[in-house]
Amino acid sequence: MEFFIQLIVGGLSVGGTYALVALGFVLIFGVANVLNIAHAQSIMLAPFFSFILMDQAKLPAALAFPLALVLTVVIALIVYSAAIRPFLVAGRQSGYLAPFIGSFGASLFIENILAKIFGSSSHPFPIEIQRNVWRLGSIVFVPMQIVSMACVVIAALVLAWVVTRSKTGRSMRAVAENPIVAESQGISARRTIVITITIATILGAASGILFAAGNNELSPFMGMEYGLKGLVVMIIGGVTSLPGAVVAGLLLGIAEALAVGYLSSSFSMVISFGLLFVILLARPTGLFASASRESRP
Amino acid sequence: MSGFYSSIAIPVLIDAIAVLGLYVIASSGRLSIGHAAFFGIGCYVSAILSTQLTLPFWASIVLGAVAAGVFGLVFAVVAERLGHWFFAIATLAFSVMLSGIVSSVESLGGATGIYGIPIAVGVPAVLVSLAAVLVLVYWIDRASLGRSLRAVRDSEIAAEAVGINPAYAHAGAFAIGTAIAGLAGGLWAHYLGVIKPVDMSLDRSLFFLIYLAVGGIEHWAGALLGTVTLGMLPEVLRFSREYRLAFFGLLLTGFMVLRPSGFVSRQLINRIAPRVGKIWAERHA
């Protein structure tokens, strides 16, 4: 039983980070109506920028992380204007294939350029983490798990406030509902999409730094690896549902932790995609599909 | 053909066969990011039939293609309810799951794969298969089947209104496309003599998709042209293999922005075809 609870704790902390990745995908898909695969690379870019800033430029972590976030957002906006915006100009329905494949190309480019510069093997992440553990009864907490969970909770609460209460959030929801009507009300759809991508990238970048610090490793291919899990979570959660993404992320984290704990660590990928497969077959629109959007985007 | 040229040409032509299969799937409006999974099914089924049951190589390749097609049909029927994006992600999920399972099953050779497959495929076998697939794809494009696939791709609702069942079109196209991928897989297994779970990796699926998207998703000539040029490019230009994916990524984004339907678009064909026909008619007048 203690082993079980221990696994649940680990699963929740990893699952929260999956949820952050998925929230980014959900925001971009909801507001811009494109599946921006290149979003996955923000997970990898942020820890790489922090690595460069701390290891090469010798900046303190408190300065390196915000700077890395800014740099990642800049790259994400460049990718957006190169690979996504050309398709939004022509109107919302320019075929689903072109922006999907275009952002995929940008993602491949970023990933392989970094693999060429830094080598395709993984590096240690240059941050000192306390290795001593905290105990609550017989359950052991690693400090990183606490940090990660705290970050996820704060990010989710701030996001919930922004989306439901702030003016930016209202314009995001308006553009998601209908960009033409939103523009007629004086909301700039393009500006809203840029803001959305910025928010999504910050979420992705934060989750990337949490992954890299938690596992103490950094690889050019981690963006795709965690990005795919984020996509899985997004679909399980109902694609356009923000609470759905959080619940599905935690679910996937727990399922993986249980599979690794009771079966074998090589099952992690098989479990996440197997779970997706089963859920898609049982509920093709995901667990928390909203009724306002068409069920077959 | 000398050994050097055939060692470049055969893998490229086998890829071209698989990409033609992906073209059939795409012509019904579906996208597969897991095409290599069905390539892999063709590899493994034909390899097992050849080594365990000692069937002649052509029989096991054909049965491998049939097996891939059956898997494809079942997959398409099960996943029919999904929207296009989710269908694409589901193919990805299927391929990641399948390669994970294959590499952990000992009787399938695990991570080391299957060795000692009789090497029976050379240039003639590949060319004959490519020609057969081309004839099939050309016939599908021309026949009412191809027209209904394109109708479903352009508008499922309009297609339904004129009596085409989108579910049948999707499933039919996916089964044919995956069977063609299985055929390519069987040829690959009997060309190399060794297969590994890497043969159904995500990278291979991505290459198939890139070849088709850059070559042109609207015409079979695009599939062929994209695969042959992009497949040969690294060999001809001799740039390092590590830069290949980065370069292809850039190419992919550029093509999607400037020519969203790839190099060979319907427009291009419609512009060129009458001229070619005129020259042909003048020559043979």
- ipTM of the complex as predicted: 0.76
Disruptive mutation site among B150, B210, B257, B265 for chain A (greatest number of A CBs within 10 Å)? B257
**Contact yes or no for A112 and B82 at CB 8 A:** no
Disruptive mutation site among A267, A280, A285 for chain B (greatest number of B CBs within 10 Å)? A280
The kind and range of the H/E element at A190 are helix A189-215
**Contact yes or no for B81 and A284 at CB 8 A:** yes
**Contact yes or no for B96 and A35 at CB 8 A:** no
Please name each of the domains of chain A with its CATH number: 2-125+144-282 (1.10.3470)
Within 8 A by CB and 6+ apart from B58, the residues are B125
**Contact yes or no for B85 and A95 at CB 8 A:** no
Number of domains in chain B: 1
Pairing state of beta strands A139-141 and A134-136? antiparallel
Question: How far off is chain A from B2, nearest CA to CA, in Å?
Answer: 34
**Contact yes or no for A109 and B82 at CB 8 A:** no
Disruptive mutation site among B23, B84, B86, B105 for chain A (greatest number of A CBs within 10 Å)? B86
**Contact yes or no for A108 and B248 at CB 8 A:** yes
Question: Model pTM greater than 0.95?
Answer: no
Is the confidence at residue B165, as pLDDT, over 50? yes
Do the domain assignments include residue B213? no
pLDDT confidence tier of residue B241, bands split at 50, 70 and 90: low
Do the domain assignments include residue B216? no
Option in B104, B243, B248 nearest A266 (CB): B104
SS3 letters across B111-172: HHCECCCCCCCCHHHHHHHHHHHHHHHHHHHHCHHHHHHHHHHHCHHHHHHCCCCHHHHHHH
Do the domain assignments include residue B17? yes
pLDDT, position A289: 65
Option in A95, A273, A296 nearest B260 (CB): A95
**At A180, which amino acid appears?**
I
What SS3 class is residue A60? Answer: coil
**A98-143 per-position pLDDT tens digit:** 788 888 889 988 988 888 888 877 888 777 666 677 777 777 778 7
pLDDT, position A93: 45
Do the domain assignments include residue B10? yes
Distance CA B27, CA B150 (A): 6
**Contact yes or no for B246 and A109 at CB 8 A:** yes
* Mean pLDDT for chain B overall: 86
Q: Domain range holding B50?
A: 3-201
> What residues of chain A lie within 8 A of the CB of B88, using their CB?
100
* H helix intervals, B194-264: 202-215, 220-237, 242-258
